[in-house]
Amino acid sequence: GAVVSQHPSRVICKSGTSVKIECRSLDFQATTMFWYRQFPKQSLMLMATSNEGSKATYEQGVEKDKFLINHASLTLSTLTVTSAHPEDSSFYICSAPGPTENTIYFGEGSWLTVV
């Protein structure tokens, strides 16, 4: 069945550096993907809508210059956390609507730790 794959599953980076997380739709095309952030014991908070071939749409309060989203192909969206700080440490997870109207697929999620 349709699968959304996310990479890396875990990443540790130094404060001030940037880290990229990839979200791929493996056997279907996704013109739209969504990025969420989840802090421990909290809910999934929608960060942005990734649109293939155009700019991402960010939710209120999410810094677009800090969380760069690129959706250059129909199967890949990337989230780059720039100038990462310890408070950016979180679980980041992407999703994509599947090929049928009734499905939404989530990636495995990526644990980011900024030290």
Q: Per rule CB under 8 A, is residue 49 in the interface with other proteins?
A: yes
Q: Per rule CB under 8 A, is residue 8 in the interface with other proteins?
A: no
Q: Per rule CB under 8 A, is residue 58 in the interface with other proteins?
A: no
Q: Per rule CB under 8 A, is residue 92 in the interface with other proteins?
A: no
Burial grade of 7 (CB within 10 A; 0-12, 13-18, 19 or more): middle
Pick 34 or 67: Cβ nearer other proteins: 34
Q: Per rule CB under 8 A, is residue 109 in the interface with other proteins?
A: yes
Measured CA distances, 46 to 27, 73, 81 (Å): 24, 21, 15
- Among residues 53, 61, 87, 101, the one that binds other proteins under rule CB under 8 A: 101
Q: How far apart are CA 3 and CA 40, in angstroms?
A: 25
Q: Per rule CB under 8 A, is residue 19 in the interface with other proteins?
A: no
Which of 30, 54, 2, 85 has its CA nearest to residue 22? 30
Residue 92: CB atoms within 10 A of its CB come to: 24
Binding site for other proteins (CB under 8 A): 32, 34, 36, 42-46, 49, 60, 91, 93, 95-97, 101-102, 104, 106-109, 111
